[in-house]
Amino acid sequence: MERLRERYPDRIPIHLCQGVPLLLEVADVECARTEHHICGLLTGTLPLIPQQNVFLGLPLRLLAEEVVYLLRKGVAVLIDETRAYMPPTADERETFLEQEQQQIQAQKERTLQHQDEQRRVIEAKLQTEEAAALERRRARQASKDSSSHDGVSAQDALKRMPYVHYTQGESASIPGYVPCTQAMLSDAPAGAQVNAYTTLGEAMQAGVWTYPRTLEQRARCAVFEDLHEQGYFLSTGLRFGGDFVVYPGDPLRYHSHYTATILAAPEQAVPAFHIIASGRLGTAVKKSHLLCQSNTFVRDDTQAEDRRRRGDDDTLQKPWGQVQYWSLAWAGFGT
């Protein structure tokens, strides 16, 4: 990971885990939000604290449109996590197992030492007269029992003691984790393969990231990019009945002003009841509803996929197309 950051110091590593784009580092989340107006959605929880639904933590999950925007802007590198880990050699595996056994033994010995210290503290407290009398009564009762634990050796105690494994938190310190782009392959360790990509075209050819590949997905990217370039912040619009929720500034400072619905093509028909429902929905959630019509200069999904494969969508210098907006509000309500 350190080699990747040295090679691309101005790019944000996006970790693709089972098709889900994630940001794992606090510095990357801060950079994405403050410099590129990308908010994402925090999804991390603490395993011992149930029912967390207000304050979540890392990792930060990105929308597909946010990933596309960052790659087209040239400020991100997409890492395929399933291929970023090199298989260990026989020597590395043997060394790891030896270190693992040493850590297990050391932890059990520390636990046994801690138990001995606690026992000595407790025994010191039992030196009072009342504690001594209680101890004598317990001793008389214990003498009637045939079983005793006095003969248990320290080694037997170690064997019965549970072991908890602690994994290092930073991926950069984990041996065998080697994110590698095509440009880094010549200097990579033996056995490394290309698993990181800096453009949409590279990720498409590798079969790692194919979004957007349909007419509707291109329209979503076009609307997202157009509103984003105008200074708006965007997030998923599921809560308010749209494709996106549009904020005039950082969502930590502003309420959203619009909910956006995407129309994939200029010729797409919009039923009258859909317009009425959108206007009433915007009023119900106290926002204006945007109908966003996109013309991405492709006629069908086949043309959209061909443009992706040719690399025609790799930079912001080649816009997705033209976008028009209609704002709907129910009459008599001042939204």
Catalytic residues: 247, 255, 287
CA angle 78, 84, 88 (to 5 degrees): 170
Beta bridge partners of 80: 16
Residue 21, preceding peptide bond in cis (omega within 30° of 0)? no
Phi, psi torsion values for 296, nearest 5 degrees: -95, 15
Amino acid at 310: R
Q: CA 230, CA 37: separation in Å to the nearest integer? A: 11
Q: Which of 196, 220, 191, 222 is nearest to 89 (CA)?
A: 191
Q: Which of 206, 268, 278 is nearest to 243 (CA)?
A: 278
Q: CA 106, CA 108: separation in Å to the nearest integer? A: 6
How far the first Cα of the chain sits from its last, in Å, is 48
Half-sphere exposure of 238 (CA within 13 A, CB side): 3
The single-letter DSSP state of residue 38 is: -
Q: CA 226, CA 111: separation in Å to the nearest integer? A: 59
Residue pair 271/227 in contact by the 8 Å Cβ criterion: no
Residue pair 76/196 in contact by the 8 Å Cβ criterion: no
